[in-house]
Amino acid sequence: MSGALILICHARKMTINSESELFEMAVGACGAIIAEVLHWHRIARRGRWPKYAKSLRYWFITFLVVLAGGVVTAAVSTPGSSLLQLLLLGVAGPQLLHSAARSHATTGPDKGVYLGSETDTLRGFLGT
């Protein structure tokens, strides 16, 4: 609990105050874009494109995920980090989100446990 409080306090103090942090954020956002494009490619290969993918709400959430990848990269990167390290930090955020959505187990009608669903839900899209 105290760790979360420290993180929240640190996030409130964090401001983008240099070109270096802005660059780190941009590279992290590029990493998050790469993760999202790979996610969409995985869905396209399955041959089913969810209905909500056409909604403005979904694309706004996708934009927030990409932005969060950049902000987290700028927050946790150390001075002198390489481009590859910054890019991988940006990729990590969306990948963790997709992994969490995918591993959220739900029970089906047969009372067996299955991962994900075939329905058109945001959790189903993030979990694919």
pLDDT digits (tens, 9 = 90+) for 60-114: 988 998 998 898 898 888 888 899 999 999 998 888 877 777 776 444 444 454 4
In a domain, 80, yes or no: yes
Q: What are the tens digits of pLDDT across the range 22-56?
A: 899 999 999 999 988 988 888 888 877 777 778 88
Residue 56's identity, in one-letter code, is L
Residue 128's identity, in one-letter code, is T
In a domain, 47, yes or no: yes
DSSP, collapsed to helix, strand or coil, labels residue 106 as strand
Domain count, the chain: 1
DSSP, collapsed to helix, strand or coil, labels residue 116 as coil
Nearest Cα neighbor of 29 from 68, 78, 75, 59 is 68
In a domain, 62, yes or no: yes
In a domain, 27, yes or no: yes
The residue range of the domain holding 66 is 17-126
Nearest Cα neighbor of 91 from 38, 21, 42 is 38
In a domain, 7, yes or no: no
Q: Count each helix (H run) and each strand (E run) in the chain, helices first.
A: 5, 2
In a domain, 45, yes or no: yes
Neighbours of 101 (CB within 10 A): 18
In a domain, 4, yes or no: no
In a domain, 6, yes or no: no
